[in-house]
Amino acid sequence: MNRFLRALSVPLAIALLLGGCATSRAELKPTGNSAFAQRPEVREYIDQLVRKDGFDKAELQRQFDRVKLQPAVIAAIKRPAESLPWYKYRRIFLTPARVRGGVAFWHKYRSALERAQKVYGVPPQMVTAIIGVETYYGRHMGRWPVFDSLATLGFDYPPRARFFQSQLTQFLLLARQEKIDPFAVKGSYAGAMGMGQFMPGSYRAYAVDFDDNGQRDLWNDPIDAIGSVANYLAVHGWQAGAGVAVPASVKGDPYATRRPAARPALTLAQLRAQGIRPQARLAGGGPYSVIRLDAAGGPEYWVGAKNFYVIMRYNYSPLYAMAVYQLSQDIKRAYHQGASGDAQ
């Protein structure tokens, strides 16, 4: 899930995880006919693919004739889960069932998770938590035809048309590169795919064949998904052994009228000057960011390190990053408690 979420300012939506949105297909039915492929802007786009990327024009024409526009994806993209306050958002992901699922996933793929930590420096609980938040460990990878979703958003959603057209191009290149039937691929309403919900551009750039079987498969191969999520975080600057975030006490409310900056840029001295004090030491050192969350009883403050921002690079929302971090800690505790119990 990744760069598209930052571009949309919606780092992970409930609907994305469930593969859809509250709008029913009866209300917004897909529409499909060759008229879409005859639209001037679509014809120009096809010509660009032929010129720049060497696609066969007749084949592309046949493919775009089959596109079914999905009005429901436009409705879904306008209702991100990140508009929820933190105390409601966290309930979606920080559940005993999701923690148990994470422990089971860690046990089942322990060797791959440990190898990913050695190769990329990302600990097992973090990779597990991201896959747990994104797709409930592969259970909910999306039900939307990716070709249709990206075409709909690329040509019928003006606020992000350029971005989604670029992702449609990446998707078609990915399908050609990996020998995938583009009409067989399903994902989120916004085109994110596989266990880690990679957008097509991220899939091409960061997916890895972690089990060396000759194919990068994020739908059916958890080993590839594990390696790919770890690689994504590593490429974006994950610091092995460093901290992520710690609670903070705040004197006054310096961010009551403005949103704290997500990018870490503050020293400890600057934090203290603003009345913000971390309640624990963050391994790895600064710079730091301030995270303000809407808890049920009022604002809740955390100090984030670079690794918190790296998680946000996966999905640009402090709510998402905090859900991943807290789930990772819950999974880690439950995993090791289970191991201690087994040893007794």
Cα separation, 208 vs 63, whole angstroms: 28
Cα separation, 60 vs 78, whole angstroms: 30
Q: In 3-state terms, what secondary structure has residue 256? A: coil
Q: In 3-state terms, what secondary structure has residue 185? A: coil
Q: Find all residues with CB under 8 Å of 33, minimum gap 6, and list them.
A: none
Phi and psi of 338, rounded to 5°?
-65, -40
Phi and psi of 218, rounded to 5°?
-95, 0
Exposed (0-12), middle (13-18) or buried (19+): which is 251, by Cβ within 10 Å? exposed
- For residue 331, the number of C-alpha atoms closer than 13 Å in the C-beta half-sphere is 31
| pLDDT, tens digit only, all 344 positions of the chain | 544 444 333 333 333 333 333 333 333 455 555 689 999 999 999 999 999 999 999 999 999 999 999 999 999 888 766 678 999 999 999 999 999 999 999 999 999 999 999 999 999 999 999 999 999 999 999 999 999 999 999 999 999 999 999 999 999 999 999 999 999 999 999 999 999 999 999 999 999 999 999 999 999 999 999 999 999 999 999 999 999 999 999 988 777 767 777 889 999 999 999 899 999 999 888 899 999 999 998 899 999 999 999 999 999 999 999 999 999 999 999 999 976 555 43
The encoded tokens of residue 133 equal: 């938040």
Q: Find all residues with CB under 8 Å of 141, minimum gap 6, and list them.
A: 19, 135, 186, 187, 193, 194, 195, 197, 219
Q: What is the pLDDT of residue 286?
A: 87
Residue 44 among the catalytic residues: no
**Active-site position among 44, 134, 178, 300:** 134
Would you list the DSSP string of 269-317? HHHHHTTEEESS--TT---BEEEEEEETTEEEEEEE-HHHHHHHHHSS-
